Amino acid sequence: MTDTETGERLTAAGATCVKAWKAWTADPRDEGKRGALAEAAHELRRALARLEIDMAKSERAGATQKPLPIPEHKAGRRDGSAPRHAAPEGNAGEDVPQPPPRRGMRRRLTPQE
């Protein structure tokens, strides 16, 4: 949608909504006027949604794509060494440090009486 179409749609929907609101406030018990106001408010919300979509498109078009940073768990260590759980690079017989074993839940010892 072009800028003029979006502007015209907002203007028309706003004017219709104000007109329906004035008619409804004059006779709030009339279901027909209430329905017309609900329809006008819905159309105004749709026009505003189109405006928000156009705004998001313009932001996306103007922004350059920045490369995503590599997560730390994928990048390795800061000192350049491989993570502790990494497989050895060349020699399969080398002793590779392993992560410490997981401990199960310890029982809490209570004094017996």
Does residue 44 contact residue 20 with C-beta atoms inside 8 Å? Answer: no
Terminal Cα distance for the chain, rounded = 82
Does residue 24 contact residue 36 with C-beta atoms inside 8 Å? Answer: yes
How many helices and strands (H and E) does the chain possess? 3, 0
| Mean pLDDT per 10-residue segment, the chain (113 residues) | 85 96 96 96 96 86 70 67 58 67 70 65
Is 107 among the domain residues?
no
pLDDT at 4: 86
Q: How many domains does the chain have?
A: 1
Is 79 among the domain residues?
no
Q: What element of type H or E holds 38?
A: helix 31-62
Is 89 among the domain residues?
no
Is 27 among the domain residues?
yes
pLDDT at 103: 74
CATH number where 27 lies: 1.10.287.160
pLDDT at 93: 54
Enclosing domain of residue 31: 3-62
pLDDT at 42: 97
